Amino acid sequence: MRVYLPCTLPFLARVAGAGEVGPAPLTGYAVTPTLVEWYVSGDTEELEYVALTDAARASLRMLAADRADGVEVAARRVVVAAEVPDDVVASGPDLEERSRVRVPVVVRMNQIAAVHVDDLGAVPDVEAAIAAVFAADAGDDDARFVVDGVEDHELMWFATQEIPDLLT
C-alpha cells in the first residue's frame, strides 16, 4: 500500500541519516475504505492525490508546530511516499481524517518510493498557510481560505537518491 508520510526538511534529514522514518507508530495518509466511500467516483490515481494532499496539510501542521516551539524551519511542505505492507497499515473510523492511517512500524529507506516537496515559488503561500493552519483547523473561514490556497501549488516529485540534494 502506498502511504504518504508528512514530513519537514529537518525531519527528512533525520530520515536520511537514520535510514528510516521513525519512531513508530507513524501517522500517514493512504487510500482507505473511508476515502473510497467519500470520493465515490475517483480512480486510484485521484484517490492517491487526495491522500497526498492530506499528508501535505499535515506537513503544514508540523511546520507550524515547529515554529511555535521556536524551531527555525524552511517553509516547504514535504511528504514521503512509501510502500508499506497492507496488513501493517491500520485505518478506521476512530481516525479523524478520511485518509489517515497508523503505521505501527518504522519505514525503512528501501520502502520509500519518492519524496514530494514544495517548489521555492510556493514559499510565500506556505508561509501564510503556516500562520493560518491552526486557526483554519479551529474553524476560521478566512484562515481556511489561506490554507486551501497553498494547495494550488503542486508538490514536486523527487527520487530517493535526490534526497541529499534537497537537504543542501
Q: Are 3 and 28 in contact, with CB atoms under 8 Å apart?
A: yes
Q: What is the pTM of this model?
A: 0.93
Q: Please provide residue 135's backbone torsions phi and psi, each rounded to the nearest 5 degrees.
A: -65, -40
What are the angstrom distances between the C-alpha of 22 and each of 5, 15, 42, 167? 10, 8, 31, 18
* pLDDT by 10s per residue, the chain, length 168: 999 999 999 999 999 999 999 999 999 999 988 888 877 776 888 899 999 999 999 999 999 999 999 988 999 999 999 999 999 998 766 556 789 999 999 999 999 999 999 999 999 999 999 999 999 999 999 999 999 999 999 999 999 999 999 998
Q: Are 87 and 35 in contact, with CB atoms under 8 Å apart?
A: no
